[in-house]
């Protein structure tokens, strides 16, 4: 599923790295948490790792409603979502699973209702709705376990303990998500410092405060359009507080 900032292209590598360092167990982590689960680009690769519980949370209500309905088999997809239906869903009341389908799956770059993508496919024959349906067909088996829970909460109200946590927040100095509002990055890093006392926390970002150490990176090519391609380095950070100075 297309989603602005999604990790589908690199999610398997991230999941492999964090579990190779901190697998399930009482001395490491009893559960796995993603407080910015988005399109489950990493989460879908984690649910077979034998943790006792898996929690996927996001502040976007339509998105969580969609995942819950995919999980329990109650999502009823129409035959098609044309531009008129897309506009109607844009103005519909939340939470609405189909609003997430249209807003993320049928919009430019997965940016929530930024524009009806199918309108501009020209002669390529691309079918965004078909791509979305194929994507969720692949994801569904990874989230049907009863120990997989979805919740619509701000990360700020969560109180994790003894969890392996992967955070993929809105990046600083990067164009934000339409309708996402202002994200307080300073507050976020302060909360990550607190979480790191009782949890194992990995954070995806391009840069971090000095007391967070880059523990993994991977340079990936991305396509901006048919003519322009560049590279972006994905990074994972962990809290690494400075050691206290001693007199001897």
Q: Which domains does the chain have, with CATH numbers?
A: 11-79+140-239 (3.40.50.150)
Q: How long, in residues, is the chain? A: 248
CB count within 10 Å of CB 61 equals: 15
CB 101 within 8 A of CB 131: no
Please write the tens of the pLDDT for every residue from 155-211.
Answer: 999 999 999 999 999 988 765 554 455 899 999 999 999 999 999 999 999 999 999
pLDDT above 70 as % of the chain: 85
Residue 149: phi and psi, rounded to 5, are: -120, 140
Please write the tens of the pLDDT for every residue from 218-234.
Answer: 877 654 444 445 667 88
Q: Which residues contact 138 (CB under 8 A, 6 or more apart)?
A: none
Whether residue 152 has pLDDT greater than 80: yes
pTM of the model: 0.89
Tokens of 145: 């376990």
């Amino acid at each position: 599923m297309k989603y602005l900032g999604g990790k589908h292209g690199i999610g398997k590598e991230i999941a492999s790295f964090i579990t190779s360092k901190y697998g399930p167990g009482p001395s490491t982590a009893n559960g796995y948490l993603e407080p910015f689960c988005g399109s489950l680009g990493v989460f879908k690769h984690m649910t077979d790792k034998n943790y006792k519980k898996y929690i996927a949370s996001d502040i976007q209500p339509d998105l969580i409603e969609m995942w819950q309905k995919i999980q329990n088999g109650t999502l009823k997809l129409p035959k098609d979502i044309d531009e008129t239906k897309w506009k109607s869903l844009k103005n519909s009341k939340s939470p609405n699973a189909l609003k997430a389908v249209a807003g993320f799956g049928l919009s430019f770059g997965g940016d929530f209702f930024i524009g009806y993508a199918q309108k501009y496919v020209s002669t390529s024959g691309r079918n965004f709705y078909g791509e979305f349906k194929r994507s969720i067909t692949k994801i569904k088996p990874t989230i049907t376990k009863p120990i997989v829970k979805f919740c619509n909460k701000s990360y700020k109200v969560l109180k994790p303990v003894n969890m392996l946590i992967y955070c993929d927040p809105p990046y600083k100095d990067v164009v934000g998500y339409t309708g996402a509002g202002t994200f307080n990055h300073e507050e976020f890093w302060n909360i990550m410092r607190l979480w790191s006392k009782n949890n194992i926390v990995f954070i995806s970002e391009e840069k971090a405060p000095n007391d967070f150490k880059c523990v993994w990176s991977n340079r990936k090519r991305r396509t901006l359009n048919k003519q322009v391609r560049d590279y972006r380095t994905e990074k994972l950070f962990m809290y690494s507080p400075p050691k206290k100075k001693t007199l001897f």
